[in-house]
A and B are shown apart, each in its own frame.
Chain A
Amino acid sequence: MLQKRLALKRFKSQSSSYFADVCLSCPQIQRGIAYEKTAAEVSCWRNIILQNQKAEQMVFPLNQESSGPKRVEQVVAGWKVQTPLEQEIFRLLHINSQPVADPVLTPVEEQSLKAMSLEEAKIRRAELQKARALQSYYEAKAKREKKIKSKKYHKVQKKAKCKDFLKQFDEMVKTNPEGALEELKKMELSRMEERMSLKHQNSGKWAKSKAIMAKYDDSARKAMQEQLQMNKDLTQKIVVPSDDEHESNEEGLETVPDFVNDSEPVIDSVNPWMRGQLTHEEPEVSCVTTEDVQTAEEENEEEELVGEFERKRKLRQADEEDLIPTEEEQPASEVVEDVVEVSDKEEEEEEEEDDDEEEEDVSEFNTLFRLMRSEKTLEDGLLNEGQVRVRNIEDLEVLGEVVDPQPIAEPSLPQTAAVEATSEPPNKKKREIDLKEVLTKEAKAVKVPFLPTVVDEEERDEQISIIKEAFAGDDVISDFIKDKSKREAAGRPEVVDLTLPGWGEWGGVGLKPPRWKRKRFRIKAAPPPPRQDQKLPDVIISENRNASVAAHQVSQLPFPFQNTAQFESSIRTPIGPTWNTQSVVKNMTKPKVITKMGAIIEPMVKEHFIKNKTTTPGGKGPAIMLGENKRAKEGAKRSSEKHRGRRSQKRRK
């Protein structure tokens, strides 16, 4: 330490170059550097060592050679080239760095073989296997799907694919314009084909039949229309999408007309077009730009108007329904009207001038009243879902609009969108069949006994009588009960009485300690935990410690286990062949270390385990040494030594 400090002082006083010299020549620092270097180098083993320590099974020797025939050169260590002819041949081979024996690999090949370790190969294999498996799954799936006969299914699939393709295409336009162009060309080709073939122009057999049916059948008409639409789509000239994004957007919309047909199979009898527009509106709203706001507003106003009409219409309908079917309610309404009339009469006496106004008021009142009543019925419907049935979608829509009629009337655009968003989902939900709604009666749970209870009454009686006869002399049952109660009593803690008679009062024969004393000095222990046989009337379970068993039991939790449950589970699973199949037993009882009989276990070799560091040239030389070669090698070694010496010298400097 002192020296160090002195050195530091010197450093401060003198020049830095001098200090550097001192530093490098100081053996302590040299040693420190060398140690750090070696420690870092040795640390590269860490992963391998940890892996081996954790390994479930290690097989020694580590690098086992493959069994089978070996070459003479591999088996015989000290074989040397002797005759001049052999020397000549081998020299030639060495010069061209060719394999010496015929199955031997060239150094390059050997290296390439060694480049992939066993683990890497395993990983690679696993990957390949996975890929193959995935491929086969995919193939199987494709086959299955191909076999499906449902036309609708395929139609839906095709549409989904088309959508996907369009999406991809849009992306492609941005990322890979050349590819997009090619795709465009393909599309163009298909368009040409379509134009030539007239496939979708209602010229086929099916189309003709549909055309006949179209007069009477709605669905047939629709199908025909679809067909035509398809033709239209296919023959439409494709605009190069890079020109304008907006157009591509529109295109995207145009490809979606099918879902208009899919969405609602029940047709609104009043105005089928409106529905189309309403459903169509959603995507439009979602992709509104600033330019479109005005037009959208105009549209909106129209829609509002239409919505109002619709509402009024529905209200009217509801009124009619109210009037016509419910005859019980009629008298009530009449009464109300009567009341109104009475009031009218009273008012007539006072002022006859405002007759008209009053009539209007009354009508308003009536409408309000009806509205309230309808709301009430609606509420009732919510309360007991099973009773009032929603027959069709019209009714549903009425319900939905009666609940919130105002937001629709409001003019602003985003609100309407919100209303649509809020009003649609419940409708959709209602459309799905809810089991609870449909099945109003609860299903009866049928209990099936596990065993056939076909024991004859007579037999049982007989058995009981036999048992009674057998135990006629001694009353076993009562004995058992007594025994159990006795044990229970023994298990209960006793009350400790610490009262001292005569302490603080008069004592004597026949005098009881007073109540306060008893209360204070009689100590009740806490009740013991409930007995295990508490709920089992015919069983006595002894909870005492059995000394003879205790000698075999583990008293403390052993080290690696965290809790008793863990330890118990480790003991509970049997590993023997009595309980497990052969392979399981083999797997469970495999030893940690396997050694091969009669094989020398060599220490680890760095080159086998750590790939990136190729230090020793010894292993990679040719199989057979030549005289010249040996000399050359020695020379190389010497030169390397010199190099090392230089390195050390450098370090010394």
Chain B
Amino acid sequence: MKVKVLCRNPDDYVRETTRDIQRVPRNYDPTLHPFEVPREYTRALNATKLERVFAKPFVASLDGHRDGISCITKHAKSLSTVISGACDGEVKLWNLPKQECLRTVQAHEGFVRGICSRFCGTSFFTVGDDKTIKQWNLEAPGYGVREEPINTILGKAVFTGIDHHQRESTFVTCGQTVDIWDEQRSSPIRSFSWGVDSFSCVRYNPVETELLASCASDRSIVLYDTRESAPLRKVVMQLRSNTLCWNPMEAYYFTCANEDYNLYTYDIRHLDVPVTVHMDHVSAVLDVDYSPTGREFVSASFDKTIRIFPKDKGHSREVYHTKRMQHVICVRWSADNKYVLSGSDEMNIRLWKANASEKLGLLSTREKAAAHYNKKLIEKFQHHPQVRRIARHRHLPGDILKQKREQREMKEARRRREQNVRKHSKPGSVPLLTEKEKHVVAVVE
């Protein structure tokens, strides 16, 4: 005999583990769940508050250097390894998860001016004040064996920066000229100069790998193509740019850190006006690095803070500082888009989270869903005054705040003055310039 029985699927009501929450059948009838906007608003407000509560970006400090950190670079193939150079010529390799120094090399006499790791992750190059380029093995030498470079090139002048090609065995240095080197040769295969006596930074474009950009001491940024015999073009700005960084996802954009407290993002096809002016620092910006996703970049400043800017926004979304952190000289964004490393004057390398309130480590699906929902809620209600107020609030040290206020006043005064001048001069003789147009002096062909 066949007995017909009503049966239910246990998947619908049995939870997977005893630690799981009870399954509840839902009825989505909107009349049963009224006041959706006020309830979501409350949730958004709570999410914003919690985001601020959990915003603890500082992860670790790596100490061991005996002088200010002058440069940091990421390992090309390993996330956990970082190489840093100090002002006393010492180079240290760090293991980030263990937060310890793996290896110390006395690489140069005087400053280590630049470090870059080879794309294959087997060796790295350093340049220093002693006019040498040295190539080092990334694997530590055996016990009792002296640390010695694989290769040493003696140059004619001091090198101030170095960068390696993304896929080929060539690298570029800058000093009095911008030189392109083959790893196998002891003399540059090509050198560019354009009426400038010193460069502070040179970078390969990571996407269009034959493109180069350099910052020169005559307040200019010069573009090169290694396939061409001459430099391409030069932009002269009002003040000197310290460093620049190419966007790793958008081939024709780069951002430069300027002495006038601002950062400028340029499109190399239209150099006469920067695409965006990023303002928030209150002192000279010393270093800049893009996130590997190309959506944001981090900048280090002489004002003892690092800031994170969205690539197309004029103001920063985040500012990091600690009491003990002095002038930040170099900054790097880790290759997994999770961390930011900053090296500063007071001999420490600091590790920060790129998203201050992000929970680290493996998340359960429910945690992930909640985090996404909260983020979306904050985004949805971002224009509401309370949410905005809480989300935008950041603590700043007193002196930075004071400087900020001061600068605002100065800017306002300048604006008023300009307005008055315009008012009292022949109409049209004092042109109305936008903020973007103010900072570029000339584009030299």
Q: Assess whether B230 is in contact with A597, with CB atoms less than 8 Å apart.
A: no
- Picked from A42, A553, A616, the residue with its CB within 8 Å of the CB of B167 is A616
Which of the 9-residue segments A170-178, A455-463, A585-593 touches chain B? A585-593
With a cutoff of 8 Å between Cβ atoms, the chain B residues found around residue A570 in the complex are 380
Proximity bits, A591-632, B CB within 8 Å = 1, else 0: 101011111111111100000000010110000000000000
Q: Does A555 contact B (CB under 8 A)?
A: yes
Contact A42 B166, CB 8 Å, known A580-B28, A597-B362: no
With a cutoff of 8 Å between Cβ atoms, the chain B residues found around residue A597 in the complex are 336, 338, 362
- Measured CB to CB, the nearest residue on chain A to B36 is A574
- Measured CB to CB, the nearest residue on chain A to B249 is A604
- Picked from B37, B227, B249, the residue with its CB within 8 Å of the CB of A572 is B37
Which of the 9-residue segments A26-34, A287-295, A392-400, A403-411 touches chain B? A26-34
With a cutoff of 8 Å between Cβ atoms, the chain A residues found around residue B41 in the complex are 552
With a cutoff of 8 Å between Cβ atoms, the chain B residues found around residue A42 in the complex are 208, 211, 251-252, 268-269
Complex Cα spacing A28 to B194, Å:
11
Q: Assess whether B251 is in contact with A590, with CB atoms less than 8 Å apart.
A: no
- Measured CB to CB, the nearest residue on chain B to A561 is B383
Q: Does A495 contact B (CB under 8 A)?
A: no
Complex Cα spacing A42 to B79, Å:
30
- Measured CB to CB, the nearest residue on chain A to B77 is A600
Q: Assess whether A575 is in contact with B230, with CB atoms less than 8 Å apart.
A: no
Complex Cα spacing A135 to B306, Å:
61
Q: Assess whether B40 is in contact with A648, with CB atoms less than 8 Å apart.
A: no
- Picked from A37, A43, A603, the residue with its CB within 8 Å of the CB of B166 is A603
Q: Which A3-37 residues sit within 8 Å CB-CB of chain B? A: 27-28, 30-32, 34-35, 37
Q: Assess whether A578 is in contact with B39, with CB atoms less than 8 Å apart.
A: yes
With a cutoff of 8 Å between Cβ atoms, the chain B residues found around residue A34 in the complex are 225, 228-230, 232
Complex Cα spacing A60 to B293, Å:
7
Q: Does A581 contact B (CB under 8 A)?
A: yes
Proximity bits, B94-132, A CB within 8 Å = 1, else 0: 000000000000000000000000001010000000000
Tell me how far the C-beta of A40 lies from the nearest C-beta in chain B, rounded to whole angstroms.
9
Q: Does B377 contact A (CB under 8 A)?
A: yes
Q: Does B168 contact A (CB under 8 A)?
A: yes
Complex Cα spacing A31 to B192, Å:
12
Tell me how far the C-beta of A359 lies from the nearest C-beta in chain B, rounded to whole angstroms.
89
Contact A43 B269, CB 8 Å, known A588-B376, A603-B292: yes
- Picked from B79, B207, B232, the residue with its CB within 8 Å of the CB of A603 is B207
With a cutoff of 8 Å between Cβ atoms, the chain A residues found around residue B250 in the complex are 45, 49, 52
Q: Does B431 contact A (CB under 8 A)?
A: no
Chain B: how many interface residues by the 8 Å CB criterion?
59
Q: Does B231 contact A (CB under 8 A)?
A: yes
- Measured CB to CB, the nearest residue on chain A to B312 is A53
Complex Cα spacing A648 to B230, Å:
10
Q: Assess whether A575 is in contact with B251, with CB atoms less than 8 Å apart.
A: no
Q: Assess whether B293 is in contact with A551, with CB atoms less than 8 Å apart.
A: no
Contact A552 B385, CB 8 Å, known A34-B228, A652-B229: yes
Complex Cα spacing A173 to B268, Å:
62
Q: Assess whether A552 is in contact with B211, with CB atoms less than 8 Å apart.
A: no
Q: Assess whether A579 is in contact with B36, with CB atoms less than 8 Å apart.
A: yes
Complex Cα spacing A602 to B227, Å:
24
- Picked from B39, B230, B295, the residue with its CB within 8 Å of the CB of A593 is B295
Q: Does A644 contact B (CB under 8 A)?
A: yes
Contact A599 B336, CB 8 Å, known A558-B383, A591-B372, A618-B167: yes
With a cutoff of 8 Å between Cβ atoms, the chain B residues found around residue A578 in the complex are 33, 36, 39
Q: Assess whether A39 is in contact with B385, with CB atoms less than 8 Å apart.
A: no
Q: Which B162-208 residues sit within 8 Å CB-CB of chain A? A: 166-168, 189, 206-208
Complex Cα spacing A52 to B445, Å:
32
Contact A60 B375, CB 8 Å, known A42-B268, A603-B207: no
Contact A38 B376, CB 8 Å, known A49-B250, A644-B227: no
Tell me how far the C-beta of B269 lies from the nearest C-beta in chain A, rounded to whole angstroms.
5
With a cutoff of 8 Å between Cβ atoms, the chain B residues found around residue A27 in the complex are 230
Q: Assess whether B269 is in contact with A39, with CB atoms less than 8 Å apart.
A: yes
Q: Which B64-95 residues sit within 8 Å CB-CB of chain A? A: 77, 79
Contact A553 B230, CB 8 Å, known A578-B33, A581-B28: no
- Measured CB to CB, the nearest residue on chain A to B372 is A589
Contact A574 B28, CB 8 Å, known A31-B233, A606-B207, A644-B227: no
- Measured CB to CB, the nearest residue on chain B to A609 is B207
Proximity bits, B1-42, A CB within 8 Å = 1, else 0: 000000000000000000000000000101001001101110
Tell me how far the C-beta of B71 lies from the nearest C-beta in chain A, rounded to whole angstroms.
20
Tell me how far the C-beta of B152 lies from the nearest C-beta in chain A, rounded to whole angstroms.
22
Q: Does A41 contact B (CB under 8 A)?
A: yes
With a cutoff of 8 Å between Cβ atoms, the chain A residues found around residue B377 in the complex are 575-576
- Measured CB to CB, the nearest residue on chain B to A578 is B33
Tell me how far the C-beta of B367 lies from the nearest C-beta in chain A, rounded to whole angstroms.
13
Q: Assess whether B380 is in contact with A38, with CB atoms less than 8 Å apart.
A: no
Tell me how far the C-beta of A41 lies from the nearest C-beta in chain B, rounded to whole angstroms.
7
- Measured CB to CB, the nearest residue on chain A to B376 is A589
- Measured CB to CB, the nearest residue on chain B to A36 is B232
- Picked from A52, A600, A648, the residue with its CB within 8 Å of the CB of B249 is A52
Complex Cα spacing A618 to B292, Å:
23
Q: Does B248 contact A (CB under 8 A)?
A: yes
Q: Does B52 contact A (CB under 8 A)?
A: no
Q: Which B265-286 residues sit within 8 Å CB-CB of chain A? A: 268-269
Q: Does B403 contact A (CB under 8 A)?
A: no
Q: Which of A555, A578, A652: most chain B Cβ within 10 A?
A: A578
With a cutoff of 8 Å between Cβ atoms, the chain A residues found around residue B338 in the complex are 595, 597
Complex Cα spacing A644 to B335, Å:
34
- Picked from A30, A572, A605, the residue with its CB within 8 Å of the CB of B229 is A30
- Measured CB to CB, the nearest residue on chain B to A78 is B122
Q: Does B217 contact A (CB under 8 A)?
A: no
Q: Assess whether A31 is in contact with B167, with CB atoms less than 8 Å apart.
A: no
- Picked from A60, A567, A644, the residue with its CB within 8 Å of the CB of B337 is A60
Proximity bits, A559-573, B CB within 8 Å = 1, else 0: 000000001001110
Complex Cα spacing A330 to B284, Å:
116
With a cutoff of 8 Å between Cβ atoms, the chain B residues found around residue A591 in the complex are 372, 375
Complex Cα spacing A588 to B168, Å:
43
Tell me how far the C-beta of A198 lies from the nearest C-beta in chain B, rounded to whole angstroms.
59
Q: Assess whether A576 is in contact with B373, with CB atoms less than 8 Å apart.
A: yes
Complex Cα spacing A579 to B373, Å:
13
Tell me how far the C-beta of B411 lies from the nearest C-beta in chain A, rounded to whole angstroms.
23
Tell me how far the C-beta of B19 lies from the nearest C-beta in chain A, rounded to whole angstroms.
20
With a cutoff of 8 Å between Cβ atoms, the chain B residues found around residue A602 in the complex are 292
Q: Assess whether B445 is in contact with A35, with CB atoms less than 8 Å apart.
A: yes
With a cutoff of 8 Å between Cβ atoms, the chain B residues found around residue A553 in the complex are 384-385
Tell me how far the C-beta of A334 lies from the nearest C-beta in chain B, rounded to whole angstroms.
78
Q: Assess whether A38 is in contact with B337, with CB atoms less than 8 Å apart.
A: no
Q: Assess whether B206 is in contact with A576, with CB atoms less than 8 Å apart.
A: no
- Measured CB to CB, the nearest residue on chain B to A584 is B28
With a cutoff of 8 Å between Cβ atoms, the chain A residues found around residue B166 in the complex are 603
Tell me how far the C-beta of B122 lies from the nearest C-beta in chain A, rounded to whole angstroms.
8
Complex Cα spacing A579 to B33, Å:
7
Q: Does B43 contact A (CB under 8 A)?
A: yes
Contact A551 B373, CB 8 Å, known A571-B37, A601-B292: no
Complex Cα spacing A38 to B168, Å:
20
Complex Cα spacing A39 to B233, Å:
11
Contact A28 B167, CB 8 Å, known A558-B383, A574-B36, A604-B248: no
Complex Cα spacing A39 to B443, Å:
15
Q: Assess whether B229 is in contact with A575, with CB atoms less than 8 Å apart.
A: no
Q: Does A72 contact B (CB under 8 A)?
A: no
With a cutoff of 8 Å between Cβ atoms, the chain A residues found around residue B383 in the complex are 554, 558, 567
Closest 9 CB pairs of A and B: A603-B206, A603-B248, A601-B292, A558-B383, A574-B36, A34-B228, A648-B229, A35-B232, A589-B376
Q: List 11 A-B contacts (CB under 8 A).
A: A35-B233, A41-B208, A42-B251, A43-B252, A60-B292, A567-B383, A572-B37, A578-B33, A589-B369, A589-B373, A600-B336
Besides the known contacts A593-B295, A603-B166, 15 further A-B residue pairs in the complex with CB atoms under 8 A apart: A39-B268, A43-B252, A553-B384, A570-B380, A575-B40, A576-B43, A586-B369, A589-B369, A589-B376, A593-B337, A595-B337, A601-B293, A603-B206, A604-B248, A651-B229
